[in-house]
Structure 1
């Protein structure tokens, strides 16, 4: 395993070995990256994740080898040479090629020919030394094989299968497909005018090299095919491929060579090309999935680490027209204090009454900020709020509603607010997203948050695994207040999981807030390993020990105590004391357990304990004159917020229902290799309107002006 991983990464053998030992001890990636830097050689989460992935690949390969070896033993065909070949194989594709000739087959033409006794004839033809082929073939006629041509055809079927099973031939065709395959599409004429066809208009007739097709385009084409609008075709130079196979096999110009030529053509068209084309498309889809998942993961990370407003008293509005605007008032901890519905917009138009109500609520609950959902009637609600003259300076934020309806109808929401309907829960979620996006968004299935590309078309198990890793990374990067966190948030803390998260919340409800980290051990079923993995990521505000509100792990407390004592301070005096911390000579505290990386982390944490790595939320205003796509005109310069990033550009919310696309070519006046180096999710930007297609509801924007 170590050798396998080392050959596929740039990580040292010792780091890999130590990391695998930690993983086998049930240590999590965030814990290893943060608290075991000496063991891993200071690997980060991405590098540790790569080791985990390669470890899983190796284990899958070894499992398949065991299965194949067992099958070959049962068939009594396993030789020492074959066993060695299988054991030394380092790819699943090569392994399956080795196994292919021995694989139990369903009824095939070759199998039928063998049963009819034609294998000796096939071997003679392949030897290419038969002088009178017609006479030789006549010896193999029977009741089942009535004619000489039937005998030759059966022999060709056996030869075709042998050719299909040759790994050198398969690898050559794989190479041709990988390098030169052309993917083309054609519209199914009867489907051209059906609903939904227009969104795939670009692919009604398309042709491109498969190796160069961007992931988003391949996924779009595959979706169009799945929905029945187009047909996909894969092509390579068949004559060239057939010639290469003939050059490998045919060594004469006699009648046998002609039969082999026919068998090659049959094998290629009937067996090799269909199977290897499917394999190539599967690999291309896998790569496209990986690319799309990476995009989604990057976006999700930026969204989860979005700027929190922090502990503020918030009035949140879930806007609407006919059904009114649902209003909730939340305290600093996000608890619901009040809810009601106002009807300021059409058809009721009770704007004056709504203004009075909002003003009263802001005063009554000492509201510090207002959050407005960005869905239907959002702009109208924002304009309404701006008409109100508040006594204090109230910041107004427009908050993404993506996934709020999923949350409000979920079991988590019902458990949190069993006495309120979905509209109240949705408004609460909007308000809490402003206070702390991470704490609220972890309650929602990541695929429903609305960032990424083609998330429903990619491998769902890989997507879920990747997104879970990202959520876990974000939660542990920020840290979690154990006395206020929901079970959803706690479940992503290193070493916790959903069951222990529920136990923590139940224990907290029954026994009150935790006063120190040691008390966490009293939670039912939270053992030593779970405590070790989680403690450093759990925060206790205003607890018994000042270090409990930091990323300093309890196993490091005695070390911090010694450092403080040696510096002539107690721990409380040392925290935030930059001049004292700078004077500490870390080298004298290096041991086998704690090296310089850990000591540097401790000092950094003591400078600003429990510091939230996220930036603070800033208010934003859209152009008040732009309310629908019909208000847009080419050349307008508008403020916007980046709300999605893909490989082909970024989407910008300009305050209307439809987001506009800034294509990668309009992002900068320089070459853009990585879009994420130019824009971030939730970034406030200025964009220029290039084109408006009202019929297709598409808006082209530019940031390069």
Structure 2
């Protein structure tokens, strides 16, 4: 396993070996990367994530090998040579090729021919020595074999299967597919005019090299096929493939050669090409999935680590026209204090009443910020808010509400607000997203947050695994206030999980706030391992021991006490005191298990304990003259917010219903390798309008430097 992982990751042997040992001890990635740097050689969470990935792949391969060996033993066909080949292979495709001749498949043409006693005839033809083949074949005319032609056809079916099972032939066709395969589409004419088909119009009659097709295009084409708008075909030069097989197999010019040639064509068209072209398409799809999942993971990380406003009192509005604007007031901890519906927009048009209500609530609840959802009537509601003359300085934010409706109808929302309907819950979510995006967004299935690229078309198991890992890393890199965190947020803390999160939540409700990290040990079923893995990521504000509100692990408290004692100070004196901390000679505190990486982390944390790695939320204002796509003109410069990033560019919210696209070619005057090097999710930028296609609701933009 270690050898395999090193081959795939190129990571140091000792680091890989120790990481696997830690994983086998049920340690989590955040814990290992943060608190076991000496053992891993300072590997980060991405490198440890790769070790986990290849460890899982190796174990899956090992499991498959055992299943194949068992099946071969049961068939009594396992030789020492075959066993050695199976055990030494490190590739699942090569493994399946080795097993292919022994697979118990459905009743094939070749199997039927064997049952009719035609395998000896097939061997005679393959030897290419027979002169009077028809006379030889006549001997096999009996039972279900009614004629010489039946006998020869059956023998050819057996030969075709042998050809299909040849590893060298399969690998050659694979190689040709890897290099030369073209993917093409043909529109299904009866469906071409349907409205749903129009988004795939660019791919109605398309052809491209399969190895070079971008991931987003392949996924779009496969979705168009799935929805029944196009037919997809994979092609290579058949003559080149057939010529290779013929050169490998045909050594004579007699009647045997003709039958072998016929069998080659049958094997290629019926067995080899359908199977291997599907395999090539599946590999391309897996590669596209990996790329799309990578994009989604990057976007999700940026979204989850979005700038929080912090503990401020917020008035949140879920805007609407006919149904009104749902309004809630939240305290600094996100607790619901008041809710109401106002009707400032058509058809009721009670703008004055709405402004008076918002103004009075802002005074009554000492509101410090207003959060407006970016859905229907968002711009109109923002314009209304900006007309109000508040007594105090109140910041106004437009908040991305993607997924808020899913949260509001979820079990989590029902548990939090059993006495309120979905509209109130949705408004609360909008307000809390402003206060702390991470704490609120973890309550929603990441696939519903709207920052992916064909996320519903990729392998859902791999996607979920990747996104869960992103959420876990984000939650643990920020840390969690154990006394205010929701169950979903607690469940992502290293070593905790859903069941212990519920136990923590219930314990807190029954016994009040935790006052120290030692209190965490009193939670039912939270044992020593869970405490080791999670304690340092759980923060306790206002704790007697200041280290309980830091990322210093409890196992290192003794080191900090010794540092303070050696300086003739208390631990409290070290907190935030850069002058004192720089006088510490870290080498004197090194032990067999604690080295400089951990000690440097401790000092860094003591300088700014519990420091939030995220930026602070900033107010942003769209161009107030742009309300619909019809207001856009080529050449306009507009403020916008990046709301999604893909491999082909990024989408930008310019304050209207439709997002505009900055294609990669319009991000920079030089070649763009990675979109993330030029823009970040939720980044505030200036864009230039290049093209507006009103019927198709498409907007082309350019990044303005």
| Cα displacement string for residues 121-175 of structure 1 (whole angstroms, at most 9, x for unaligned residues) | 1001101111211211111112422221111111100000000001111011011
Q: Which residue of 2 aligns with 1:671?
A: 671
Tell me, what secondary structure is at the counterpart of 2:126?
helix
Q: Which residue of 2 aligns with 1:24?
A: 24
Q: Which residue of 1 aligns with 2:201?
A: 201
| Cα displacement string for residues 327-379 of structure 1 (whole angstroms, at most 9, x for unaligned residues) | 10110000011110110001000001111111101011110000000000000
Assess if the C-alpha contact under 8 Å between 2:116 and 2:143 holds in 1: no
Q: Which residue of 1 aligns with 2:661?
A: 661
Report how far residue 496 of structure 1 moved.
0.3
Q: Which residue of 2 aligns with 1:544?
A: 544
User: Aligned pair 1:430/2:406, yes or no?
Assistant: no
Tell me, what secondary structure is at the counterpart of 1:371?
strand
| Cα displacement string for residues 270-328 of structure 1 (whole angstroms, at most 9, x for unaligned residues) | 00000001111111111100100000000000000000000000000000000110110
Larger mean CA deviation between 297-306 and 14-23 belongs to: 14-23
Q: Which residue of 1 aligns with 2:335?
A: 335
Whole-angstrom CA distance in 2 between matches of 1:571 and 1:314: 36
Q: Which residue of 2 aligns with 1:442?
A: 442
Tell me, what secondary structure is at the counterpart of 1:396?
strand
Assess if the C-alpha contact under 8 Å between 1:669 and 1:704 holds in 2: no
Whole-angstrom CA distance in 1 between matches of 2:505 and 2:463: 29
- When normalised by structure 2's length, the TM-score is 0.99
Report how far residue 85 of structure 1 moved.
1.1
Q: Which residue of 1 aligns with 2:508?
A: 508
User: Aligned pair 1:535/2:535, yes or no?
Assistant: yes
**Structure 1 residues 78-93: aligned runs within 5 Å:** 78-93=78-93
Q: Which residue of 1 aligns with 2:251?
A: 251
Report how far residue 31 of structure 1 moved.
0.2
Q: Which residue of 1 aligns with 2:304?
A: 304
Tell me, what secondary structure is at the counterpart of 1:184?
strand
Whole-angstrom CA distance in 2 between matches of 1:445 and 1:263: 53
Whole-angstrom CA distance in 1 between matches of 2:336 and 2:625: 34
- When normalised by structure 1's length, the TM-score is 0.99
Structure 2, gaps ≥5 residues long:
none
Whole-angstrom CA distance in 2 between matches of 1:700 and 1:487: 42
Tell me, what secondary structure is at the counterpart of 2:591?
coil
Whole-angstrom CA distance in 1 between matches of 2:110 and 2:134: 20
Report how far residue 10 of structure 1 moved.
1.3
Tell me, what secondary structure is at the counterpart of 2:202?
helix
**Structure 1 residues 184-199: aligned runs within 5 Å:** 184-199=184-199
Report how far residue 704 of structure 1 moved.
4.6
Q: Which residue of 1 aligns with 2:466?
A: 466
Q: Which residue of 1 aligns with 2:489?
A: 489
User: Aligned pair 1:599/2:599, yes or no?
Assistant: yes
Q: Which residue of 1 aligns with 2:610?
A: 610
Assess if the C-alpha contact under 8 Å between 2:686 and 2:704 holds in 1: no
Whole-angstrom CA distance in 2 between matches of 1:430 and 1:8: 43
Q: Which residue of 1 aligns with 2:237?
A: 237
| Cα displacement string for residues 637-692 of structure 1 (whole angstroms, at most 9, x for unaligned residues) | 11000000000000000001110000000011111101001000000000111111
Assess if the C-alpha contact under 8 Å between 1:310 and 1:435 holds in 2: yes
Whole-angstrom CA distance in 1 between matches of 2:99 and 2:149: 32
| Cα displacement string for residues 553-578 of structure 1 (whole angstroms, at most 9, x for unaligned residues) | 00000000001111222111111110
Assess if the C-alpha contact under 8 Å between 1:319 and 1:325 holds in 2: yes
Assess if the C-alpha contact under 8 Å between 2:215 and 2:287 holds in 1: yes
Q: Which residue of 2 aligns with 1:409?
A: 409
Assess if the C-alpha contact under 8 Å between 2:30 and 2:476 holds in 1: yes
Assess if the C-alpha contact under 8 Å between 2:481 and 2:538 holds in 1: yes
| Cα displacement string for residues 512-546 of structure 1 (whole angstroms, at most 9, x for unaligned residues) | 00000000000000000000000010000001210
Whole-angstrom CA distance in 2 between matches of 1:371 and 1:145: 81
Assess if the C-alpha contact under 8 Å between 1:637 and 1:688 holds in 2: yes
Assess if the C-alpha contact under 8 Å between 2:662 and 2:701 holds in 1: yes
Whole-angstrom CA distance in 2 between matches of 1:355 and 1:474: 39
Assess if the C-alpha contact under 8 Å between 1:668 and 1:704 holds in 2: no
Report how far residue 240 of structure 1 moved.
0.3
Tell me, what secondary structure is at the counterpart of 1:190?
coil
Tell me, what secondary structure is at the counterpart of 1:451?
coil
Tell me, what secondary structure is at the counterpart of 1:124?
helix
Q: Which residue of 1 aligns with 2:34?
A: 34
Tell me, what secondary structure is at the counterpart of 2:206?
strand
**Structure 1 residues 111-510: aligned runs within 5 Å:** 111-510=111-510
Q: Which residue of 1 aligns with 2:46?
A: 46
Report how far residue 195 of structure 1 moved.
2.5
Larger mean CA deviation between 138-147 and 151-160 belongs to: 138-147
| Aligned-pair Cα RMSD in Å | 0.7
Q: Which residue of 2 aligns with 1:702?
A: 702
| Cα displacement string for residues 102-139 of structure 1 (whole angstroms, at most 9, x for unaligned residues) | 11121111111111111001001101111211211111
Report how far residue 9 of structure 1 moved.
1.6
Larger mean CA deviation between 528-537 and 130-139 belongs to: 130-139
4+ long deviations beyond 3 Å = none
Report how far residue 505 of structure 1 moved.
0.7
| Cα displacement string for residues 241-289 of structure 1 (whole angstroms, at most 9, x for unaligned residues) | 0000111111111111111111000000000000001111111111100
Q: Which residue of 1 aligns with 2:588?
A: 588
Whole-angstrom CA distance in 2 between matches of 1:84 and 1:686: 62
Q: Which residue of 1 aligns with 2:568?
A: 568
Assess if the C-alpha contact under 8 Å between 1:666 and 1:704 holds in 2: no
Whole-angstrom CA distance in 2 between matches of 1:23 and 1:638: 50
Whole-angstrom CA distance in 2 between matches of 1:365 and 1:305: 28
Tell me, what secondary structure is at the counterpart of 2:306?
coil
User: Aligned pair 1:107/2:134, yes or no?
Assistant: no
Whole-angstrom CA distance in 1 between matches of 2:6 and 2:422: 52
Tell me, what secondary structure is at the counterpart of 1:643?
strand
| Cα displacement string for residues 413-463 of structure 1 (whole angstroms, at most 9, x for unaligned residues) | 000000111110000000000000000000000000000110001011110
Structure 1, gaps ≥5 residues long:
none
Q: Number of matched residues?
A: 705
Tell me, what secondary structure is at the counterpart of 1:461?
helix
